[in-house]
Structure 1
Amino acid sequence: MSETSTAQTSPSGAGFEVRPVYLVAALAVVTVFAFFNGIENLFMRWGEQEELSHGYFLPVIAGWIIWSRRDALKGSLGKPVALGLAGVAVSAIVLVLSELTVTSLMIFQHLAMILLFSSLALALGGWRIFWLTLLPIGFMLFMVPPPYWVITILSQHFQLWSSQLGVWMIELLNIPVYLSGNIIDLGDYKLQVAEACSGLRYLFPFLSLGFLAAYLFHAPMWQRAVVFLSTIPITIVMNSFRIAVTGLLVQQFGPEHAEGFIHMFEGWVVFILCLALLFAVISLLARISGRKSIGELLGLPDVKPQPDGTQWDQKRFTLHALIALALLVAAGSYVHFATSNILRVPERSDLSGLPYEFEGWKSYVQEVDADTLNVLGADDYIITNLESPDNEAFNLYIAYLNMQRQGHSWHSPRQCIPGGGWQIAAHDYAEATLNDGDTFRYNRIIIENRGVRQLVYYWYDQRGRKLANEFVMKSFLILDAVNLRRTDGAMIRIMTPIARDELESDADARLTGFMRKLDPKLEPYIPGADAPATQEFDPND
């Protein structure tokens, strides 16, 4: 009697079988084992960066959405699809490669983990299960922390946009105000719109809330898209409003209103106002469609089972689950026990000795405070004003890193220049020919501030390569981390002022000449690809 019952509940028929729940539990454990470093990094980023602190809740919300579809999922089980195993294999390969680079580009692990979830849905439950779980699994993309350099770029842009709009709001009240970069000058007080005030603390959680609201909104797809995309302008406008209110309070009652509890309270008030505006957008769109009651606006979609005509096969399910387990165990074991996390760093001279290479030149080395040094994140650096015997003026900045890893890389001058009151008037790429005949591309920028102009060149000197593009630099970084076990290198920036009566071509000739004079002196300070590596570091320390 028991054998007959088993045959009825098992579509695959007789034979050795493992209960599906045990296989799913085993896959969950092995996934945590294989992606442990990536999961640990998620919790670290969520805890350290306030703009990402909402990440703790997003997997829970995704799980709730899947749970709300449980009846539809049960009725939509179909034949497990082998193509899902290809996705599992890709996830395992990306996991291994991300660890082999040693640069800890954890975003690849995070994305591979989400790809793994969708691939398992396809491999174990068929196409209908894949489509029914695609939205909640895709929602978890909002929990993935962007790379630090992406946050830096976004923060710079949002700082400037919010500052400009905030100053415009203050001017509407006929209050004299001047904006220089991200510094708001109110006369007696100057407010700096720091990264914490850029609006990213609102944007990242608000984007995920906007997506969730669009999902719950009973409306055509175009209206849902409007709800989601409206979160971006709402964030910018309300953050600018916050900056304007802060400026008014500072002018009327003192600078203490820009700090401490009051500043934090203003932030929470603005976030609540953001939510109110988002609901206003939803209500407006609902009225356009003729819906007025709250019950007609928001609620869980009624997801129906979607049988595809194929029968779920437990033997096929078991086979796919065991293959997926084998792939993840192999990848996880290689990551945790076979890969080397040791980076090699060559010996080199300290950059403090570089100004002495310019015989007969005057050098004025600039020291930076601890906070600025922490932002630079360099293992060695030099910022110096140089004056040639012909009274030509230059500024030289070099930042050197022993190794690049998560959160420990260069800040592009294009990200940092606007915050200091300078505006980028022009940017392009140019090609230089050095004294030895070698050529390379570099970034050429003209910056302006209240009529003062400067010409800026910068490039990345990376283990024997001189590169202008950050994305190309990152690509070679991954290759060299695998092949050379090295990720050291430098960012070099040189500047010269452009006089009011001077042509840009004259400044170019002067700065190009300085570049050619500088290049032969750099080898002891920035080792090339063939330099012997005598030091070793663990990037996890």
Structure 2
Amino acid sequence: MNTIKEEYKYQVHTSWGSRWVFAASTVSFILIALLLIYRDTLTSIIAIWLRSETFTHGILIFPISGYMIWTRRKELQQIQPKPQPVAIVLICLIAIGWLLAHIAAVQFAQQLLFIALLIGITWGILGSRVVRALTFPLAYLFFAVPIGEALIPPLQDFTAYVSVKGLQMTGVPVYLEGLYITIPSGTFEVAEACSGLRYLISSLALGTLYAYLSYQSYYKRAIFIAFSIIVPIIANGIRAYMIIMIAYLSSMKLATGIDHIIYGWIFFGAVIFFLFWAGSFWRESNIVNSISVDSLINSNTSNSKKQFILTGLLLITAASLGPISAIQLYKQPINTACTVSIPKGSLNWSGPFHPSDVWDPSFPSTEQDTRQVYSLNNEKNKEIQILTIYYPEETQDSELINSQNHLYDGKVWQRVSEENQLVALEGKNFQVRELVMRSTNGYRLVWYWYNISGWQTINLIKAKIFEAWGKLIHPQTHGSILIAVATDIINTVEVEKSKRLLSKFLNENPATTSPRSILACK
């Protein structure tokens, strides 16, 4: 009797192992097919890893996730993989989301949804219990997505604030103007590279991994991850303060060149070491998560294989909806026979004239950009510049809304401050984005907004939604325009006078803010 029972267990175990091999093979082939279908999204991720020091860590994410999955192989052997056809619904929704992100040229959203597709297909083929056992290794893949550049401006502002407070507390005379910190020895700029984003992202990726490996309770993991975010932000401000102090005490002989970057990485390494060392005092014993063993059910292997294959084919078909729909959408003709119509001067304003100064905003691959000057009649040195940047057809890296696009070039002009403003136009509030920038010759006040297929906004998320919606309901879209009006600021005390001048121009030239007046289409 025992011999028969042992033989039965052996047969079921063999069937079970065969099921796992076939399931793993199926998910591997389907994921390879997914990588080929979404190769453009995958290559965009890899390209950013290779060119940006901020996101170089992404190269290690997939190997780390793969290693964590490998370490759980014994636990996985106790689970019977079982396809989940319901995952097809989720894959369809993700594919539609990817399509919308592709239409609006939101690259990071495409990349996030691509990772979600990888996880969703794994769930659909291997089942809920397998994915539940691999929740963290699979979720950790999201760290491979190069995201976070939108945090650079607020991180720059915070770093400048902490640096100035530190200098004031230590008795160093200091003057802060936007991102420029002036001390008796010289002037420092909190550039984008000094924002600390690379420290923050690296700390968060490492801290999340450390929390998972060191703690079992969720609240301890959450607390440590929170500190992995807070500590590098504060530490970067202290780092910037220390660099300025070293330069101040050495009469600008130290920490003003490449050495300040070296000091920064040494300091960051010390901070991370301290963070992990402090976290080790609350480290919990490594308790293996319990996984109940599936019952030994001698299922029909032939039917199981058919189920894996059918589910895999349905999943990859659903995932293909995004790229296939994108190809069909872009086959439709797009009306590019439009030009920006610069309004003529009004009763109180002369122009437009060609500007004589240098102002080259950083908007690559734009097809049409214009800049004209208007002068207020009978008023000396009261001029307004109007700038338009037009993209009749947008593609990835050739788009109006992009984190790399700026109204200042970073060389001649640099950002001082930026915020939202409400302007009263004919009794109604008109929202603009206010930018103050500076050059060696002075300051310039800029008000700007976006016109997306007839909708006006200053919200970047809304602008992207308008782009996607416009292309879906009206493929012959008129494109996207940035409209800006600017005037020079004589001195920082007279900013309000410059604002009143811009407001006067917009009120007396309503065509500037009219969505239908700015474009002339055949």
TM over 0.5: yes
Which residue matches 1:166?
163
Deviation, 1:36, is 0.5
Q: How does 1:199-210 map to 2 (within 5 A)?
A: 199-210=196-207
Q: How does 1:359-374 map to 2 (within 5 A)?
A: 360=350, 365=355, 367-368=357-358, 373-374=361-362
Pair 1:319 & 2:322 matched: no
Structure 1 residues 340 and 213, CA, compared in 2 at 3 Å: closer, same or farther?
farther
8 Å CA contact 2:349–2:376 kept in 1: the answer is no
Which residue matches 1:136?
137
Q: How does 1:29-40 map to 2 (within 5 A)?
A: 29-40=32-43
Aligned identity (percent) is 20
8 Å CA contact 2:422–2:429 kept in 1: the answer is no
Deviation, 1:158, is 0.7
8 Å CA contact 1:71–1:305 kept in 2: the answer is no
Which residue matches 1:151?
149
Counterpart of 2:115 in structure 1: which amino acid?
Answer: I
Taking the aligned partners of 1:499 and 1:171, their CA distance within structure 2 comes to: 25
Q: Secondary structure at the match of 1:23?
A: helix
Taking the aligned partners of 2:77 and 2:149, their CA distance within structure 1 comes to: 40
Which residue matches 1:391?
379
Taking the aligned partners of 2:445 and 2:335, their CA distance within structure 1 comes to: 36
- Counterpart among 89, 92, 105 of residue 89 in structure 1: 92
Deviation, 1:397, is 4.4
Structure 2 residue runs without a partner (length 5+)? 1-8
Pair 1:443 & 2:441 matched: no
Q: Secondary structure at the match of 1:322?
A: helix
Taking the aligned partners of 1:315 and 1:182, their CA distance within structure 2 comes to: 62
Which residue matches 1:290?
none
Which residue matches 2:521?
531
Structure 1 residues 472 and 33, CA, compared in 2 at 3 Å: closer, same or farther?
same
8 Å CA contact 1:216–1:301 kept in 2: the answer is no
Structure 1 residues 339 and 18, CA, compared in 2 at 3 Å: closer, same or farther?
farther
Structure 1 residues 7 and 281, CA, compared in 2 at 3 Å: closer, same or farther?
closer
Counterpart of 2:126 in structure 1: which amino acid?
Answer: G
Q: Secondary structure at the match of 1:44?
A: helix
Counterpart of 2:111 in structure 1: which amino acid?
Answer: H
Deviation, 1:131, is 1.2
The two structures have a TM-score, normalised by structure 1, of 0.76
8 Å CA contact 1:386–1:396 kept in 2: the answer is yes
Pair 1:58 & 2:61 matched: yes
Deviation, 1:301, is 5.3
Which residue matches 1:305?
291
8 Å CA contact 1:78–1:125 kept in 2: the answer is yes
* Cα-to-partner distance string for 1:483-521 (whole Å, 9 max, x where unaligned): 3354733222335679999997x9887644421443436
Which residue matches 1:194?
191
Deviation, 1:98, is 4.0
- Counterpart among 74, 77, 89 of residue 77 in structure 2: 74
Structure 1 residues 271 and 492, CA, compared in 2 at 3 Å: closer, same or farther?
same
Taking the aligned partners of 1:395 and 1:28, their CA distance within structure 2 comes to: 56
Aligned length: 495
Deviation, 1:208, is 0.8
Taking the aligned partners of 1:491 and 1:273, their CA distance within structure 2 comes to: 44
Q: Secondary structure at the match of 2:212?
A: helix
* Cα-to-partner distance string for 1:83-104 (whole Å, 9 max, x where unaligned): 22222222333344444x1x43
8 Å CA contact 2:84–2:123 kept in 1: the answer is yes
8 Å CA contact 2:339–2:521 kept in 1: the answer is no
Taking the aligned partners of 2:317 and 2:447, their CA distance within structure 1 comes to: 51
Q: Secondary structure at the match of 2:379?
A: coil
Deviation, 1:463, is 3.1
Which residue matches 2:272?
275
Q: How does 1:126-525 map to 2 (within 5 A)?
A: 126-146=127-147, 151-152=149-150, 154-253=151-250, 255=252, 257-258=254-255, 260-284=257-281, 286=282, 297=283, 302-307=288-293, 313-328=304-319, 339-340=330-331, 344-348=335-339, 360=350, 365=355, 367-368=357-358, 373-374=361-362, 379-381=367-369, 386-391=374-379, 393=382, 395-402=384-391, 403-407=393-397, 408-410=399-401, 420-422=415-417, 424=419, 427-429=420-422, 432-433=425-426, 441-443=430-432, 457-482=447-472, 483-484=474-475, 486=477, 488-494=479-485, 511-520=502-511
Pair 1:43 & 2:29 matched: no
The two structures have a TM-score, normalised by structure 2, of 0.79
Taking the aligned partners of 2:356 and 2:255, their CA distance within structure 1 comes to: 30
Structure 1 residue runs without a partner (length 5+)? 287-296, 533-541
Counterpart of 1:245 in structure 2: which amino acid?
Answer: M
Q: Secondary structure at the match of 2:339?
A: coil
Q: Secondary structure at the match of 1:185?
A: strand
Taking the aligned partners of 2:415 and 2:361, their CA distance within structure 1 comes to: 16
Output the aligned Cα RMSD: 4.5
Q: Secondary structure at the match of 2:389?
A: strand
Taking the aligned partners of 2:194 and 2:77, their CA distance within structure 1 comes to: 47
Taking the aligned partners of 1:298 and 1:419, their CA distance within structure 2 comes to: 49
Deviation, 1:166, is 1.4
Counterpart of 2:290 in structure 1: which amino acid?
Answer: K
* Cα-to-partner distance string for 1:366-400 (whole Å, 9 max, x where unaligned): 6437xx64368755545666431142835434241
Deviation, 1:428, is 4.8
